[in-house]
Amino acid sequence: MNIKQILFWLHKQAGLWLALFFVILGLTGSALVFMRDIEPVIHADTLLPQKPATYEATNADTALAAFKSQDLAKNFRVLRLYLPSNKDNVFRIVTVNTTKEGRGDFYFHYISPYDATYLGEHLVKTNNVSRWSMPIMRLLLQVHIQLMSGYYGGLLMGMIGLAFFTTSLLGFYLWLPKNWSKAFTISWRSNLTRLMLDLHKQIGFWAGIVLLLITFTGIYHAFPDQFEKVTMRLLPSNKSEDVVATVSVDEPSSIQSYVDYVGNVYPDAQNMQIFLQNYNKGEIELRVSQPGEINVTEGKTSLAFDVTTGALIRHQRPETTPTAKRFINWMLPLHNGEAFGLLGRIIFAFVGLMPLVLFITGFYVFYKKYRAKSQKGVFSFILAVLSPK
């Protein structure tokens, strides 16, 4: 076999044997592009509480106090607090279950912004493969990243993503035409087999451009530590100078004081997150997304404070971070299309359907060739799959 026949054989093997996984990644990814838009519709009772005629607005302190007043709070350790956003109008508290039987299970708890009412909880991540009782979008997310199979499922999906990236590259090479005048034509009047082949090539080319981007950034999310180490070696990674002013908040014991300070520094920022996992160690960190920042959902503008004195100890902005870190910060918005606005997200969601279309068109062409040889039986079918032709 020559090199092109070998690459075609590899492309065919990945496309046939791993097709189910490619389709799962694509379909779940399409839905997840709009997860933050869909969840408030599905769970309007907890994410979009009704605004009463009269109310006393909830702040970060009262929201946390409302959660800690619940009997169930003793079973959880608070990790993060999301302030109400334009997507879901609630305080969202991220916790991890600290009981022995629930170790490693992560939950969202919702607090009303109007009267600090506890609205409920959702299981959002678990390493227990038998626990499927979570909101549909979070279930799709767990299937997407780890097939609901814990750590080893995550490794498998990472390898599948790597295979997807590789077979997409092979597809581009195999697509390269000898006659460029016919490179982008589809024989609509030809027989169905030829039409399917042309569709496979054209869809593979146009959707493949986006699929390469999605799978490459997906590999980062599957293997972030390894990816980061390589990135730090290849790109400039000298630590940027932190922008630290000699200021402190008025009430160090009040979390709302930190919220107010960050709000004054960045009045147009959105999607504020408060990281509390190191609070008992003397540090609190707040992150926001600035206007024009590539990371809209998970902002990278960060301010950290000493909770004893209220002093600002670290202030980092995405535009001053090292090149390597900025490259890494692009991974999520490039993976879900957020970097390209609403139109980009729509295109990414549509492209997520293409692995299924590519499998249907590719399998049809393969099956017609198989049937043309008048072969029957499972053994002959497997031989046809493994054949280099």
Whether 318 contacts 330, CB under 8 Å: no
Fold entry, domain 44-134? Nuclear Transport Factor 2; Chain: A, (3.10.450)
Domain boundaries, the chain: 3-24+147-234+348-354, 44-134
Strand order in the sheet with 118-125: 118-125, 106-111, 91-97, 76-82, 270-275, 283-289, 301-306, 312-316
Residue 194: which H helix or E strand, with range? helix 192-222
In this prediction, residue 384 carries a pLDDT of 75
Q: What stretches in the chain show pLDDT beneath 70?
A: 99-103, 129-130, 239-245, 374-375, 377
In this prediction, residue 211 carries a pLDDT of 97
Per-residue pLDDT tens over the stretch 318-361: 988 899 999 999 999 999 999 999 999 999 999 999 999 999 99
Whether 5 contacts 332, CB under 8 Å: no
Whether 190 contacts 143, CB under 8 Å: no
Question: Counting beta carbons within 10 angstroms of the beta carbon of residue 301, is it exposed (0 to 12), middle (13 to 18) or buried (19 or more)?
Answer: buried
In this prediction, residue 136 carries a pLDDT of 95
In this prediction, residue 181 carries a pLDDT of 77
Q: What is the pTM of this model?
A: 0.89
Whether 97 contacts 103, CB under 8 Å: yes
